[in-house]
Amino acid sequence: MSETAPRFRGWWILLWCTVAISLTAPGQTIGVASFIDHLIEDLGVSRSTISSAYLFGTITGAACMPFIGRWIDQVGIRRSMTIIVVAFGAAVIAAGGVQGPITLALSFVGIRLLGQGSLSLVGQTGIALWFDHKRGIAIAISMTVSAALMALAPLVLTSLIDGVGWRQTWLMTGLFLWVTLIPIARWGLVDRPSDIGQLPDGLPPHSTNYQPQRSFTRGEALRTPAFWSLEAIAVLAGALVTGITFHHISIMEARGLTETQAAAVFIPQMIGTVATGFLFGWLTDRVSPRVLLPITGSFLSAGLLLGAVAEPGFLAVAYGVVVGLNAGSVRALSSALHPRWFGTEHIGAIRGVAFSIGVGSSAIGPLIVSVGHDLADSYGPVLVISAVVTLGVSLATALVPTPASG
């Protein structure tokens, strides 16, 4: 009798990486937004000061991402995630002890570098390494689940803050990260399928259906127009979605919503994110990026316009949904297209650069929206101008050829 082949480990890797991506929420703008008004009140700083500290923390973290990506390639996802989780939990706990603008900026460096940047990168890299032809559906599943879980973060964090205060909420969150993710990273992950004699997608060993893809080096990938067309959309989404999420409560209150109603807008946003996260993950295996990228950018343009006219009821819900459509589709395309176009041998280094650009762009978003509001005494003009620019860039991506090997 022939020995039964071991069950494909990739689906477990997908589950653990998805959990890790979901728990980057405390370092994501959607999580930090719950603390902004409390920080302003308790630390006695202005909204622009908070935005500037966030910019500093995010840009500093972004500058490290190319090195983090290359390091992940070198040491593997198991060891790198373990180290990142330990450091991220410590940074989140430390965030509860900030006393002023300087310590706040340093706190933002830690949670943005380690949460939004490093933990997201290693989680997405793990999925890319274990799936090839099924990568689109794997990413669709991951984006759907992680977006749904992450969308709950504002409600959970707001409830905790109301119950125990914002400082204790940071402490409890950091401890939760350690308890949940350290075991996953240490005992749940395997670096590559070949480490246990398997192939991506669960193909049988020595399968003739598996043909390793040519892998671009980081330098080769950066010389392709396709890389920069994807990053153009990611930059706009990173900056503008971060900006409107960071100031979400204030934007919605300016349009007549209460704080509770504003927080509830994250629910339709989650629905939009889940819908396009799954759909666009599936479509990346079937439809040209030259079609998908303009659609993704158009979602953002429409969302910004809706933000300028939102009011309690249908328009506020529509705003949340459409912003979510952009967020889900951008994440799906960014996760799927880099390994599809450039292979997986240097995927950490390539995505490290992409993350650096994306995280860096998210740093300026809150300041753009804040300054735009201060100049016009309204959020409307900055949202409309941003929508027009976004639409123009989105349409231009339809003209950019994809890599020859893609």
Q: Which pLDDT score, from 0 to 100, does residue 2 have? A: 43
Please enumerate in sequence order all residues whose Cβ is within 8 A of that of 330, keeping only pairs 6 or more positions apart, or say none. 233, 234, 237, 296, 300
Q: Taking residues 201-219, report their average pLDDT.
A: 74
Instruction: Name residues whose C-beta falls within 8 Å of residue 314's C-beta, 6 or more positions apart in sequence.
Output: none
pLDDT of residue 211: 63
User: Is 280 a residue whose pLDDT tops 70?
Assistant: yes
For residues 13 and 141, the answer to whether their CB atoms sit within 8 Å is: no
Confidence tier at 188 by pLDDT (50, 70, 90)? very high
Question: Which range, 88-92, 257-261, 286-290, has the best average confidence (pLDDT)?
Answer: 88-92
Structural domain contains residue 206: no
- Print the domain residue range for 335: 10-195+216-399
User: How far out from the chain centre does Cα 319 lie?
Assistant: 19
Query: Look-up: residue for tokens 């598996």?
Result: 210
Domain at 365, CATH number: 1.20.1250.20
Per-residue confidence (pLDDT) for residue 141, from 0 to 100:
87
Residue 3 lies in a domain: no
> Is residue 327 domain-resident?
yes
Section 181-206 average pLDDT: 89
**What is the percentage of the chain residues whose pLDDT exceeds 90?**
55
In a domain, 120, yes or no: yes
**Worst-scoring range by mean pLDDT, 42-56, 87-101, 157-171, 178-192?**
42-56
Does residue 170 contact residue 73 with C-beta atoms inside 8 Å?
no
- Confirm whether 69 is domain-assigned: yes
Percent of the chain at pLDDT > 70 equals: 96
CB 362 within 8 A of CB 239: yes
What mean pLDDT is predicted for residues 189-199?
91
Query: Does pLDDT of 3 surpass 60?
Result: no
* Cβ neighbours for 211, distance < 8 A, ≥ 6 positions apart: none
**With bands split at pLDDT 50, 70 and 90, how would you rate the model's confidence at 209?**
low
**Helix-strand-coil split of the chain, %, nearest 5:** 80, 0, 20
pTM for the model stands at 0.78
pLDDT band at 210 (very low <50, low <70, confident <90, very high): low
- Please report the pLDDT score of residue 406 as a whole number: 41
Q: 105 is written with which tokens?
A: 């900026």
Q: For residue 200, is it within any domain?
A: no
Q: What is the pLDDT of residues 28-84, one digit of tens each?
A: 888 998 898 899 999 988 877 887 888 888 888 888 999 999 999 999 999 999 999
pLDDT digits (tens, 9 = 90+) for 311-370: 999 999 999 999 999 988 998 898 889 888 998 888 888 988 988 888 778 778 888 998
Neighbouring CB atoms inside 10 A of 1's CB total 3
What are the CA-CA distances from residue 35 to residues 30, 73, 357, 406 (Å)? 10, 34, 25, 42
Count of domains for the chain: 1
In a domain, 138, yes or no: yes
Within-domain flag for 97: yes
What does the buried/exposed string (b/e) look like for 131-140 if buried means 16 or more CB atoms within 10 Å of the residue's CB?
bbebbbbbbb
